[in-house]
Structure 1
Amino acid sequence: MKYLCLNSLKRVFPYTGMITAFISSVMNISNTLTKLLLPYVPAYFRKRIIRGRLPDLQTNLDDITFCEACSIEEYMSCFRLLHDVYVKAGFIEPTSPPLRIIRHHSNPEARVFMGCLTDNQAGKTPIYTASLFPDDKQEGLPMDIGFKPQVDELRSQGRRLVEVGCLASHPLYRKGNKHIPMLGNRLLVSYAINTICADDLLITIHPKYLKIYEDILLFEKIGQISSFSYVNNNPAVALRVDLNTVAQRFKEIYGNMPKKKNLYHFFFESGSTPIELPFEENEDEEKVKRYYGADMIERVIAYSATGQILPLTSG
């Protein structure tokens, strides 16, 4: 039905490209005018306009290194950045120590990623962080607290789920710079597909970002907007993208666009975002414990409170 409606629209408006170009030219007058008019533009034209206004994509940044957090100091830096950004946004109240850690970070399969300046003499100080949480039989996913029926529906289909969350960018590198979060997105998608072998990537976002995720990144809503206790009861909406079909969907929509604006090329042809890993994923269990899971999170919390590094627990 969706494709029938789209074909009907093209027959009724044979000059959709001209119409889109005209609307875009009007909106180029000012960002204020764009914000005022865009919500009232029909969805088909709105999506074409938004996708056409994508900034030129960079497949790599020489001054940014992406890696997994694998030391107490790196975890603390990520959790501190997350805490500070969320406090400023009103998503959480300040805590002591100033770290944003959720219980799902204790999942041994959870991963915390960070983007750091390569020329930082003070070590790896993140300006970007994101976490991936594979579904866990005991703890579930963070979004279960607000959207469990929708997540359970996916589980009932036998799908392997992974949620991206705890996203934050340093404010000094956020305004007007979409390259860092886009490279982060590419890293997360690649890791979810190639390392975790997930079927669905899930996320909860503030509704003000909904059109970005729906119109550009091709996520789909799986629930209505509701308050979310994880972020001070701010409004949130749950989204998913089917990782088994996402490459084909990106190809259909972006495949014929110039490479600098071609998200299919960016995500699936240009190579994955370079990332430094502490070790290969098939390493022994003891080494995994050293870097991930409940034992590491316990050591991070203890170190933040006492300055003392706890030894690894045995057994």
Structure 2
Amino acid sequence: MVRIRRLILPVRKMLGGTLRKLFNFLPRERRFAVYRNFVDCDPAPDERLVLKIAETKEELEACFTLLHDAYVGSGFMKPHPSGMRVTIYHALPTTTTLCAKYDGQVVGTLSLIRESVLGFPLQRIFDLTAIREKKGNVAEVSALAVHKRFRRTGGSILFPLMKFMREYCTSFFDVRHLVIAVNPSHIQMYESLLFFQRLTQNVVENYDFVNGAPAVGATLDLRAAPEIFRKHYASKPPRRNLHAFFWQLEMPNIKMPARRFYTTNDPVLTPDLLDYFFNVRTSVFSELSDRKKCLLHTIYDLPAYRAVLPVIAEGEQDRSVRRRHRRFSVRCPARFSVVGADGKESKVALEIVQLSRYGFQAHALTAVPIDVWGEVTIQLGPAEVSRIQVSASRESNGGMYGFRLGEPDLIWRKFVNALYSGSTHADLENATRFMTDR
């Protein structure tokens, strides 16, 4: 994530070393109020600033290059020969990369990752149960960077980019809850200026997605946010009023995508673009585990994409999963929700009787569609609920179905790891050994 703390450089300049230490002893809300007094959001940005979806090869490459340089500079990744930071999540049609361009040059970027069979990056280390229990879709804000030329100019790029993100999420992306994983040194800025709430007070000391740096998870409810912003910003002058800036101001610099249909995603990656970024310039596809290669094929299940996707033998995933992973006998109630071709949602009650790392067998009293992805809600224990994208891969006698999982969430990982280690239910909170099958 970009160093949002640069937005309060005036505070740091104002405070000497001794005063800064005393400032840190102030109550949390007093400190946050001081930070908010130094917000600078221009309600009329220069017309040379354009905010749009990155959709061309040149725009995407500029975004990935900007991100690479920012992450290398912060120690969040090692330099890559391509000069770009590209992850498997950038390859998904449910991910949208936004960019800020100034005089035609990309100077800011962030990516919004909607849930897919690959899940979210941060679900490997943070529990999203409380958020999933609320209404509304979830998206992870990731890959945020601002060009160094604009990092010392307050929020001249960052705030318009975040306004674009907010409008896109609520008007186009059908997202209510944002989640982020940021370095602990940055989290107070997200809490004080943007009112993100921590997922947990604990800091994850080693987050492999950002080169082993520590991380803090946080979330923002976009439906509840306007009232919170109004309470803290409405009385401030225009350049410090983030409530008016985010929710009332019409900004002509923002160019929303033109859509023919009422869809919620804006996929821009053609087969040629996928090949260029994930095969030619980088080796992201070839470095995936066999399982993730299979999941990628389920996402791009079209002949036009087959030639650029990583090669994997048909049926190899199911055989390898059965061969490599132990199975455990359980009795867990679950509910499988799937949307049919007619757009109607159906729910099927399940009882899971056997599971492994990446699949389970369940009994169903009614028919379950085969090879159709949906969400399963599983009661793994009295207080442990897992929600994962799954699909039924086969049916056997007596209403028994085999299911394959998308990317497991933290609760599922804890549960299975506890089973592998012979732990009891009480040990689940400590069963946090994460798998390294990237």
**Which TM class, normalised by the smaller chain length?**
0.7 to 0.9
- Cα distance 1:293–1:221, how it changes in 2: closer, same or farther (>3 A)? farther
Contact 1:111 1:131 in 2 (8 A): yes
Is 1:78 the counterpart of 2:63? The answer is yes
Aligned-partner Cα distance in 1 for 2:262–2:228: 35
- Cα distance 1:295–1:278, how it changes in 2: closer, same or farther (>3 A)? farther
Is 1:264 the counterpart of 2:243? The answer is yes
For each residue in 1:245-293, what CA deviation from the matched residue of structure 2 results, as whole angstroms up to 9, or x when unmatched? 11111111212222221111011011256333564263899x965x237
Aligned-partner Cα distance in 2 for 1:183–1:28: 25
Which structure has the highest helix share of the two? Answer: 1
What residue number does 2:25 align with? Answer: 40
- Of 60-69 and 206-215, the range deviating more from structure 2: 60-69
Is 1:94 the counterpart of 2:79? The answer is yes
For each residue in 1:167-219, what CA deviation from the matched residue of structure 2 results, as whole angstroms up to 9, or x when unmatched? 11111221233211011111111111111221201111111111111111111
Is 1:130 the counterpart of 2:110? The answer is yes
Give the secondary-structure state (helix, strand or coil) at the position aligned to 1:80: helix
- Cα distance 1:70–1:34, how it changes in 2: closer, same or farther (>3 A)? farther
Of the three residues 51, 71, 83, the one matched with 1:66 is 51
The share of aligned pairs that are identical, in percent, is 22
- Cα distance 1:314–1:164, how it changes in 2: closer, same or farther (>3 A)? closer
Aligned-partner Cα distance in 1 for 2:245–2:215: 28
Contact 1:109 1:293 in 2 (8 A): no
Q: Report how far residue 44 of structure 1 moved.
A: 2.8
Contact 1:111 1:133 in 2 (8 A): yes
Is 1:225 the counterpart of 2:196? The answer is no
Letter in 1 for 2:170: I
TM-score of the aligned structures, taking structure 2 as reference length: 0.57
What residue number does 2:98 align with? Answer: 113
Give the secondary-structure state (helix, strand or coil) at the position aligned to 2:180: strand
The aligned length equals 275
What residue number does 2:253 align with? Answer: 274
- Cα distance 1:246–1:38, how it changes in 2: closer, same or farther (>3 A)? same
- Cα distance 1:113–1:258, how it changes in 2: closer, same or farther (>3 A)? same
Aligned-partner Cα distance in 2 for 1:255–1:288: 33
Which structure has the highest strand share of the two? Answer: 2
Alignment of 1:178-257 (within 5 A): 178-223=155-200, 224-226=202-204, 227-257=206-236
- Cα distance 1:272–1:34, how it changes in 2: closer, same or farther (>3 A)? farther
Give the secondary-structure state (helix, strand or coil) at the position aligned to 1:208: coil
Give the secondary-structure state (helix, strand or coil) at the position aligned to 2:121: coil
Of the three residues 129, 132, 136, the one matched with 1:152 is 129
Query: What residue ranges of structure 2 are gaps of 5+ in the alignment?
Result: 1-10, 283-302, 307-438
Larger Rg: 2
What residue number does 1:177 align with? Answer: 154
- Of 49-58 and 251-260, the range deviating more from structure 2: 49-58
Aligned-partner Cα distance in 2 for 1:187–1:281: 20
Of the three residues 108, 119, 143, the one matched with 1:166 is 143
Letter in 2 for 1:64: L
Give the secondary-structure state (helix, strand or coil) at the position aligned to 1:276: coil
If asked which structure has higher relative contact order (CA below 8 Å, sep 6+), I would say 1
Aligned-partner Cα distance in 2 for 1:107–1:183: 25
Q: Report how far residue 313 of structure 1 moved.
A: 2.3
Aligned-partner Cα distance in 2 for 1:303–1:279: 30
